[in-house]
Amino acid sequence: MKVNVSYRKPQVLQALRYHFISKREIKLMIILVNVFALLSAVLFYFKLITPLPFLLSSVLWISMMVAFWIWLPALIYRRSKTFKDQFTVSLDEHHMGIETSISHKIWAWREFSHMLETPGFFHLYFDSKSFFLLPKDVFENSDQVQVVRHYIRDGIK
């Protein structure tokens, strides 16, 4: 199966947000900052602490959300040439290939470490930081998406 891939910025930014939020260390940090913010809000409400810890927790929470939700996805999108290119992806039960006007690369499914499926993309990870985004909207219908899902699940152990 061959599909032509081009990315749309809003979709890619959302996929990058999913990437960051799916990381265990980021989830843990978000939980800890939220617990700290809620605890400081409760303590401030009962006048057990001064406004400074409440203000600091709020600033920390807002800055963390801006970093993971806006700044980091935009930075990665801007720096990556892949998201601005158009290319052809070929998929079969054993391999995935990418073909541009100047190069061609094929990976066996076993070369990917794992896969994350989000509403708009298949995130195909080589390691914890390197991944390829395969948009679902490049496929003609849901049957093709199902076939690709089957290829990926069977190929990536």
Q: What string of DSSP letters covers 9-25?
A: HHHHHHHHHHHHHTSHH
Spatial CB neighbours of 132, under 8 Å, sequence gap ≥ 6: 98, 123, 124, 126
Condensed to tens digits (0 to 9), the pLDDT of residues 105-157 reads: 999 999 999 999 999 999 999 998 899 999 999 999 999 999 999 999 999 97
pTM of the model: 0.82
